[in-house]
Structure 1
Amino acid sequence: MPVSKQMRKALQHTADECIDCGKCMAYCRFLAESGSPLSIALNALSDDETVDDLSQRTYDCSSCGLCSAVCPVKAEPAEIFTQLRYHAQANGTFKLEKYAPLLSYERLGQRFPFKAESLPEGCTTVFFPGCTLPAMFPDATRIAFKILKLKDPRTGIVLNCCSKPSKMLGLKSKHEENLSTLVHTLERKGIKKILTACPNCHATFKQFESRLEIVSIYEKLKYANFIPVTPAVKEVTIHDPCVTRSESNIHKAVRDLLKSAGIRVSEMKHNRTETLCCGEGGGTNFHNKAYAMYWSRKRINEAQRIGVPMVTYCAGCVNFLGGNHPTAHVLDILLVKRKTIPKPVAFPFNYLNRLIFRFTAL
């Protein structure tokens, strides 16, 4: 199948810049077994049929971006894997039947009764909690919204899906159409700022070119003067979601919030820019569970060496890691009084929580 100009440009950049140092391969099982970014780029540039094979292989990739983060020469290998997934879907070389639950989750988030909004008169700022946070932590989400409204009573709320799963799986046109509709609808209603709680939503909105200002709720809460609850734990280690690698302001805000609540933070070896994927990234667990569990085990092993619970600011990461190591969401730790860290919410209670939140918080 023909290769797009954008993909050829990404492949050529990696082929020109990669020095085959092996640093990214030392971290990543996918690259260790598939070859270096240089070899992948050169093979793809040499033969269009090879591209079709490689595009299918990239569904073993967690799309976590660590390869680009540790690259000493900015060869941007993560971009070629994104482009290869776009190629796979544009040319029909990889079927997505295994990902039906994930795509269904996205569709439900964009439809009644899960889709909803409340925009007070004069509203220019909205809270966008995402799909999974109210599903797993409805109380924390509700309290966070109340704090935002105390700061500015005109703050609204939008329950919808940013369509990140479609983008992650290579459905570029579908993702762009859905996100464009959402963003332009908000702009027409006078919205100028979105406060995000989900790191995937945050990254997705920021990558979309619009006039909207995208701000993390964690940065906002630093200056909200709320009183945190007495925490269930005194010491934690922080799992930074992989999509926040470049978000140093969010890294600092989360740590400052925990420290202001009297919680000691002990860092794992891989944090912030070089954080590890929880295992859920790229939807890899639907296609190659062994690769997904490889990342999960690496992350949990680091936390176990510290010997304290993990705290993260991604509800999806809590869901993926929390079954095997005590893992809390930062909003739940700060805003909801508990004696222990709860286990992740299981189906169908996650859907029920979303409905309860939708009909009680708006």
Structure 2
Amino acid sequence: GHGVKEILVACPSCYRVFKDYSEDLQVKTVYEHFAETSLPPSSNIPATITIHDPCSTRDEQQIHAAIRQLAESKLLTIDEMKYVGTKTLCCGEGGTVGCVNPDYSANWGIRRKETAGGNRIITYCAGCANILGFVNPTSHIIDLFFDPQAALAGKTKIAKAPWTYLNRLFLKSYFKKRIDAAVSRERTFTGENRSKTGAFKRVGILFALVALIIAVRMSIAP
């Protein structure tokens, strides 16, 4: 109802959800936007890296191209892995399989490490960056945009909740200052009208889910 026609996202999974379920909206990644305009000013550090494409955008070749264009604009040499783009491998986190079968999940990360050939992995999914970071030097490409020296030296940490939500606010603020949007809307819900009973129910469900995950993992532990 606000006349919004296009949405910019940084998360590949968010891209997939909006593309599949929002018929009246055009969705585009911030990486495509940067490729069409320009990156924030930062230093260029020549280095050799490899790129991991997330599962959720395996068929989005325009995103693959934008990511590689941006990496090359920072004077990075891309040593492509065997399985990329439409043939990319799962990082091991997909479907939260790690909660049910940690060994199976870990094997995917090991396979990715083997195909990386000793190079630092650059990806554009926070989940992939987190899980692959356990087995191989890995950076999120946005870290390369703002502080490439720290990213390539492994001095930037992969954000985890609740910091991920703070990072979203920073990114949103960045674009709001640079894109003349027709409509800008903030969430104004304060929770004043939420019943205490509803809140207790949600907390109870959360604890139940956590307990279920712990029980499943304990049942499959050797």
- Give me the TM-score of the superposition, normalised by structure 1: 0.44
Runs of 4+ in 1 over 3 A off after TM superposition: 342-347, 355-362
Q: Contact conserved, 1:236 with 1:263, CA < 8 A, in 2?
A: yes
Pairing partner for 2:38 from 205, 220, 225: 225
Distance verdict in 2 for CA 1:337–1:359, change over 3 Å: closer
Give the distance between the partners of 2:48 and 2:170, measured in 1 at CA: 35
Partner residue, 1:264: 77
Distance verdict in 2 for CA 1:216–1:292, change over 3 Å: same
Distance verdict in 2 for CA 1:344–1:285, change over 3 Å: farther
1:235 matched to 2:44? The reply is: no
Q: Contact conserved, 2:110 with 2:135, CA < 8 A, in 1?
A: no
Distance verdict in 2 for CA 1:254–1:298, change over 3 Å: same
Distance verdict in 2 for CA 1:238–1:336, change over 3 Å: same
User: In the TM superposition, what is the alpha-carbon distance from 1:319 to its structure 2 partner?
Assistant: 0.6
Partner residue, 2:137: 326
- Give me the TM-score of the superposition, normalised by structure 2: 0.70
Distance verdict in 2 for CA 1:287–1:351, change over 3 Å: same
1:205 matched to 2:22? The reply is: no
Deviations 1:68-92 (A, max 9, x none): xxxxxxxxxxxxxxxxxxxxxxxxx
Give the distance between the partners of 1:360 and 1:258, measured in 2 at CA: 19
Give the distance between the partners of 1:356 and 1:235, measured in 2 at CA: 27
Pairing partner for 1:309 from 110, 120, 133: 120
Q: Contact conserved, 1:232 with 1:333, CA < 8 A, in 2?
A: no
Give the distance between the partners of 1:243 and 1:254, measured in 2 at CA: 15
- Calculate the aligned-residue CA RMSD, in Å: 2.2
Partner residue, 2:112: 299
Deviations 1:11-33 (A, max 9, x none): xxxxxxxxxxxxxxxxxxxxxxx
Which consecutive unaligned segments of at least 5 residues does structure 2 have?
A: 174-222
Pairing partner for 2:89 from 244, 262, 276: 276
Percent pairwise identity: 37
Partner residue, 1:354: 165
Q: Contact conserved, 2:109 with 2:135, CA < 8 A, in 1?
A: no
User: In the TM superposition, what is the alpha-carbon distance from 1:227 to its structure 2 partner?
Assistant: 5.0
Give the distance between the partners of 2:170 and 2:71, measured in 1 at CA: 30
Deviations 1:204-251 (A, max 9, x none): 111114210011111111121335422456110000101111100001
1:335 matched to 2:159? The reply is: no
Paired residues in the alignment total 171
Q: Contact conserved, 2:49 with 2:122, CA < 8 A, in 1?
A: yes
SS in 1 for 2:149: coil
SS in 2 for 1:338: helix
